[in-house]
Structure 1
């Protein structure tokens, strides 16, 4: 994808000339005649580079530069364009964060070499930040802030960590977040059962197992033996994940006892129903992501549509919400997303996926399970759905399912479900 350059200059001839030259060089170009227009373009389409004139009416270029660079998240390089008598000001602008400056009348050779240098510096910064920012969890709710703090306490340790949470809740994203924080500079790698353990263990990396129950008990035991025999000789960490609750796996003997002891850190990823206040931020993040990476039209979810989506039960968790956002963006090019459009798409989604309907649940239960295990799977899904529909309220849940609160507390704890206690 070619770089996008924003040209900000109040002179129409300059804007026209620079657009022609830069487009001939293969760049995508936006133009703005004043600060207000420049800010509107930056909000809708983030540029890779800005060419900014110093002398403009109302708000001058240096003032605008200071405004942009006051944000710690602004890493877009800015090249100042100075006319006669403003060179000293342009030099001063570099102290406020400008990458460089070019003098008018513009030398095309100088301009293009400066553009290339600025874009190169931006790409180097992006590469440096890629690992740090890759798949960082989205959301600022209290429960996610606590989860981040819990994970941050593990960043300097190589002890194995176990993540549990519903499918689609973001277990892999949180595992990547832990890997990103760790002392290793290597990205997290998927644990491949087809590769020899002796080949994997010397890696200076975090090894990720997406579903521990996919490994037989014998494989888990051999894995434990290999880790123990290599202990202390390699700075790797195993990050293990499952949609089953860790305590329940241990109780049901689905992981060997000594391996259960090895994973001293068990972290539960909350369901989306437990942090619906993060949905507006998730909407904004994925709208921008799809607009940038898949060139889908930018569209805006208003307050009413956000509230509708906050109150919807997402049985497929964040993964389902992400797919729904993609469907909405592809549905129309109108920037504002209407409430009725969202209602219709939600109804269609529920018809295509009956498990999303509020009045039904669908489970695939293996006939290899014992009756107790099958009953437990049903109870977990049944109570999880009612818990979401009751607003995570234990009193309301008790009314819906016809059970005493005391009994429900014990049952929910056994199933690994969490709710707010009522006073």
Structure 2
């Protein structure tokens, strides 16, 4: 039996155009000229997807989107046809639960892509694939069940999703789960760390370039947006994008077209945008570091990954899973975790979340006698001291006045340092090395993380003997 679509529009020519396009894709169509007729057909037939105009004689398409989303048809993908450039209405439709939108005049290639995605959602998914996807986010805490349920819902849409949460709380895992449960699961998932790309290379990395377009462009190079064609683009640490790049990215998302550097024509793109950052993006907008129009475009749906301290009951489960993985990679039997060590981990606040738990267990696995991990093997006190020192060093780098407060912190030990300057230099070195490690020694990205200029970082590297 052929798939069946419902097309709702009071313009006969548009209905005919859409119907002919879908029939060439082996999709049967029913048409309705108003809201009442559409609701009647929904009660009489089972549709695979619905396409509705926003302006109808007896209402609007948003009412139909709400009707479908709140009733027995809530799993029916519904897309809306909007007036060209009416992005606010399109975003409102996505927030109400629309699968996607297409602008007038209807681009037939865009319509075909939309229909293919909608039909994929209603095909039976591989149960094992679904299970593997849900295992990306381990946990039995209430907030983890809620997160997995949110992911299941947003995976059935093609709307942009913004994932908020602290560093190390699993934002990329949530993005991968959305991708693997959605209609684009068989297409690429391309993650981008926006803070790790040098500003001067960012446009080329995102949009690609043509041979000879600038010094060093020895061949045509596809950008990351093209690499994600048909799939999902995950913009990690999106708050670190420079303002000029935010403008270009916004246009690419809205127009679904890009122009590689040196190209004479634009290229159509078909990607779903997921984004994340540990920063307060609304605050970044308020303080002028992030464009409000891009913020509202990528933040159509927001989900949040809970910090580990708010689901401490999941720590034993995570410990077992992480230790099993570490042991498998090493080809040995995983050591036991002592009762004291497990209790210490459950009482630890984990400012670095699951990523920090993984680092602690990897270190303990190396230090223990391979039979049992004890509390001493965890070195939790050293982790706390290092985090305090790095936070203090970062503050001192960005705010020299804060150095005067160090004498009141009782962290300076005269038995270890000849002077306060030596102490400051040591913790400054630690903070810079940490930032460089996190950015894989990308100096531009490290400077951004530290909140200083590239020139200032270069000076400090030379002063501290870190130049390579």
Using the size of structure 1 for normalisation, the TM-score is 0.50
Residues 360-396 of structure 1, C-alpha deviations (whole Å, 9 max, x = no match): 9536249779x9xx9xxxxxxxxxxxxxxxxxxxxxx
Contact 1:246–1:266 under 8 Å retained in 2: no
> What residue in structure 2 maps to residue 180 of structure 1?
180
Compared with structure 1, are the counterparts of its residues 157 and 129 closer, same or farther at alpha carbon in structure 2 (3 Å cutoff)? Answer: closer
Contact 2:169–2:308 under 8 Å retained in 1: yes
Compared with structure 1, are the counterparts of its residues 332 and 234 closer, same or farther at alpha carbon in structure 2 (3 Å cutoff)? Answer: same
Compared with structure 1, are the counterparts of its residues 326 and 249 closer, same or farther at alpha carbon in structure 2 (3 Å cutoff)? Answer: same
Contact 2:368–2:377 under 8 Å retained in 1: no
The yes-or-no answer on 1:346 pairing with 2:380 is yes
> What residue in structure 2 maps to residue 277 of structure 1?
313
Residues 133-183 of structure 1, C-alpha deviations (whole Å, 9 max, x = no match): 497112111111111111211102221111122222221111111112121
Counterpart mapping for 1:335-374 below 5 A: 335-342=371-378, 345-351=379-385, 353-355=386-388, 362=392, 364-365=394-395
Contact 1:296–1:330 under 8 Å retained in 2: no
Q: What SS is found at the alignment partner of 2:288?
A: coil
Residues 176-216 of structure 1, C-alpha deviations (whole Å, 9 max, x = no match): 11112121112410247333527525701111111112211
Shift of 1:130: 10
Contact 1:190–1:208 under 8 Å retained in 2: yes
> What residue in structure 2 maps to residue 160 of structure 1?
160
Using the size of structure 2 for normalisation, the TM-score is 0.46
Compared with structure 1, are the counterparts of its residues 296 and 134 closer, same or farther at alpha carbon in structure 2 (3 Å cutoff)? Answer: farther
Compared with structure 1, are the counterparts of its residues 367 and 256 closer, same or farther at alpha carbon in structure 2 (3 Å cutoff)? Answer: farther
Shift of 1:247: 2.5
Q: 2:391, 2:206 → 1: CA distance?
A: 41
Contact 2:176–2:189 under 8 Å retained in 1: yes
The yes-or-no answer on 1:195 pairing with 2:205 is yes
Q: 2:333, 2:241 → 1: CA distance?
A: 42
Counterpart mapping for 1:41-52 below 5 A: none
Shift of 1:354: 4.2
Q: Unmatched 5+ residue regions in structure 1?
A: 1-125, 375-423
Compared with structure 1, are the counterparts of its residues 288 and 187 closer, same or farther at alpha carbon in structure 2 (3 Å cutoff)? Answer: farther
Compared with structure 1, are the counterparts of its residues 252 and 134 closer, same or farther at alpha carbon in structure 2 (3 Å cutoff)? Answer: same
The yes-or-no answer on 1:256 pairing with 2:286 is no
Q: 1:330, 1:166 → 2: CA distance?
A: 27
> What residue in structure 2 maps to residue 205 of structure 1?
231
Shift of 1:337: 2.8
Q: 2:273, 2:396 → 1: CA distance?
A: 29
Residues 333-356 of structure 1, C-alpha deviations (whole Å, 9 max, x = no match): 4433334544xx2234344x2439
Compared with structure 1, are the counterparts of its residues 281 and 363 closer, same or farther at alpha carbon in structure 2 (3 Å cutoff)? Answer: farther
Q: Unmatched 5+ residue regions in structure 2?
A: 1-125, 209-221, 258-267, 403-468
> What residue in structure 2 maps to residue 215 of structure 1?
241
